[in-house]
A and B are shown apart, each in its own frame.
Chain A
Amino acid sequence: MSFRKRNIGLTGPSSLSTSTAQLSPTPTPGVRPSPLDGRPTTSAGTPPLDDLLAGHAGLALGNSLLIEENGTTDFAGVLLRYYAAEGVVQGHRVLVVGVGRGGGRELPGLVGTGERMRMRRKELTITAPLTPNRGPISRVKAQTEQTTPAAFIHNFDLTKRLTVSPGSIAYIPVSHSPISNPFSTIIPSLTQSLNCTPTNHNPPPHNPYSPSLQPSTHPTLAPPPISSPSCTPLRSLLRSHPARLSAMLTLPLSLHPRSTGLVRWIEHICDGVLELTPFPHRVEVEPPSGKAGKGESENPQGMVKVHKLPVLTEKGGGGGGGGMIWHFR
């Protein structure tokens, strides 16, 4: 007969991963250890998206997530805005590539605490809403102080606007010169803003987000040096700051189909790859980002295919092939 201390888990090597050692003891706002192996994660901005990420319940720091979208809708852009808004609310430094200064004004506003609790309960009954809650607006308190500081994720409302203090978002301009590699300017400015932050023990994670990361020219015309190395420095940047940086990128598939080698390389370089395929919407229904009425909220608006997941796929686990299919609303 043998005895075992009750509070010692039975899990073996997975809880002893090296990333645990790198975890700083005092928590950074908006960062929590993954329930799977303890590596630090930050929220991807929307709870259902966090749930998709292979059980880590968040985007592991030092990883990137590529969101591809078919058609002319902008669901990926909505997800990016949530990701950025979450970063702003948590006090992270948000770096934005490829969107003008106006982008910061379009971040979704925060839903008040009281309502947030209500919403959370409501979400349990509705499966995986990827679009924000459109709850009773009458009771909304715009930004309350009572939001618990330990909150990992906040609820946002697309119909409202987040007030962003001027310093919290840095915009990195993209040069549109057809000759030079646009990334030759982006990466140095990313590195610079990473380096110029005070390097105390607990630097807040940076979330650069890059709407429409686009190869500068048509893939067939562009010689490889211009096109695919673009995200490599980003990958090495992410890996060299494993506790400070996470990235989310988007790519319109209608312009850059997945059947090309170039896009496949971009996918290889990113850690997670999701593909959104919105259903063609009826004419009389309002465009989804314009907030349809409550009645439409039950209709799925498209499919999410998971091609690659951060951490899991690198280890060799599945999640590839045909990809998992989810509905988003």
Chain B
Amino acid sequence: MPSQPPIPPLLSPYLSIAPFASLTLLTSTLGASTNWLVLRFIYSALKDTIYEKDGSTKEHTEDTMVVLVSWLRDGNFWKEGGRKLGTNFQKIQIVDALSTGFGLGAGGLAEAETEILKAIATAREATKENGEARVLLVLDGLDFLLAATGCVTLEIMDLVGAVRDHVHSTILTSSADLPLTQSPTTPLEISHTAFVMGMAHQARIIMSVRGLDTGVARDVSGVLRMCRGAGAGDEADEGEGEVEEREYLYLVGADGGVRVFERGA
């Protein structure tokens, strides 16, 4: 596979900065992770030029900071992946919740909320002299708190609501495997389903990643599906913010490069 552009052309309309106060939901399954997608969202938010739908580019006018909170992956993992893309880590505030374990201990969700708000404040502080920066918040694996602490779904949704108030837009990743979301019976499955459904209703766009339905292939890593979420609102129907519902295949190469293509292409 020849080296790929950091942002696959088919994806660029979806990766451009989301409208103010929007939520983007990324769902993954066991064999198909959203990490590559998260890295590309961050890269795209921090780079200087925006790719328009028609292929033209324009300069970013506002400063952007990213706050990345990850419960399932450590900071080194993100740094390694981001460095390969050429992401500017000066502008990323990584909160390594896997190593620190916040949200899991006695402090509970309140502790998690405090930590996230602190990170957002730090990110704002860092760019104060250049005027107000937009903050993109990435919550990776928040659903894990639900599984690990047994807290109530509503509390987690409250947490999401509270931190969303402080940022420009939010990206949330969650697993959505069939055992977790189809015919929920155990408390864990019920609360997970409620969480994912609740978030899907708030989201502007849902990007789901899953393995290939027909089995494993050498040249396809998985299927990427973009859906309009219930939070897209009416204004999405006209013009700019419109979300086009598509399904593509993708391939993550050994070097970390990603190719996104149509079925049969």
Contacts and interface: CB of A to CB of B under 8 A. Distances in A.
Interface of A: 11-14, 17-19, 36, 55, 219-220, 223-225, 227-229, 232-233, 235-236, 239-240, 242, 258-265, 267-269, 273, 307-308, 313-324
Contact of B216 (A227, A228, A265, A318): A318
Determine which residue in B37, B148, B192 has the highest number of CB atoms from chain A within 10 A of its CB, and name it: B148
B9 interface: no
Closest 3 CB pairs of A and B: A320-B31, A321-B211, A316-B36
Contact of A264 (B30, B36, B210, B250): B30
A318 B222 contact: yes
Given A220-B186, A236-B99, A321-B222, A314 B149 contact: no
B30 A318 contact: no
Interface residues of B, number: 62
Contacts of B76: 18, 239, 242
Contacts of A228: 147-148, 188
B55 interface: no
A9 to B, nearest CB: 12
Nearest to A240: B99
Nearest to A218: B186
A13 to B, nearest CB: 5
A321 B188 contact: no
B263 to A, nearest CB: 15
A264 B179 contact: yes
Given A18-B79, A268-B72, A317-B221, A229 B186 contact: no
B245 interface: no
A268 B72 CA distance: 9
Interface in B206-251: 210-217, 220-222, 250-251
Given A313-B31, A322-B216, A239 B255 contact: no
A314 B3 contact: no
A17 B79 CA distance: 10
17 contacts: A19-B80, A220-B185, A224-B148, A224-B150, A225-B150, A242-B76, A260-B186, A261-B184, A265-B144, A308-B31, A315-B33, A315-B252, A316-B32, A317-B221, A319-B216, A320-B29, A321-B32
A225 B149 contact: yes
Nearest to A14: B255
A232 B33 contact: no
B135 to A, nearest CB: 25
Nearest to B193: A261
B74 A239 contact: yes
A224 B187 CA distance: 7
Contacts of B101: 232-233, 236
Contact of A261 (B80, B180, B255): B180
B35 A315 contact: yes
Contact of B77 (A11, A265, A273, A314): A314
A223 B98 contact: no
A229 B31 contact: no
Given A19-B80, A263-B179, 19 more contacts: A14-B256, A17-B80, A219-B186, A220-B185, A224-B148, A224-B188, A227-B188, A235-B72, A239-B98, A261-B179, A262-B188, A264-B175, A265-B188, A315-B33, A316-B250, A316-B258, A321-B211, A321-B213, A323-B31
Nearest to A22: B76
A227 to B, nearest CB: 7
A228 to B, nearest CB: 5
Contact of A318 (B32, B98, B147, B177): B32
B47 interface: no
B118 interface: no
Contacts of A323: 31, 216
Contacts of A320: 29-32, 211, 216, 222
Nearest to A55: B254
B134 interface: no
A122 to B, nearest CB: 29
A239 B256 contact: no
B221 A236 contact: no
Given A261-B189, A262-B186, A268-B30, A315 B179 contact: no
B215 to A, nearest CB: 4
B220 A318 contact: yes
Contact of A229 (B34, B148, B187, B216): B148
Contacts of A324: 216
Given A239-B99, A261-B188, A318 B72 contact: no
A13 B30 contact: no
B76 to A, nearest CB: 7
A40 B74 CA distance: 18
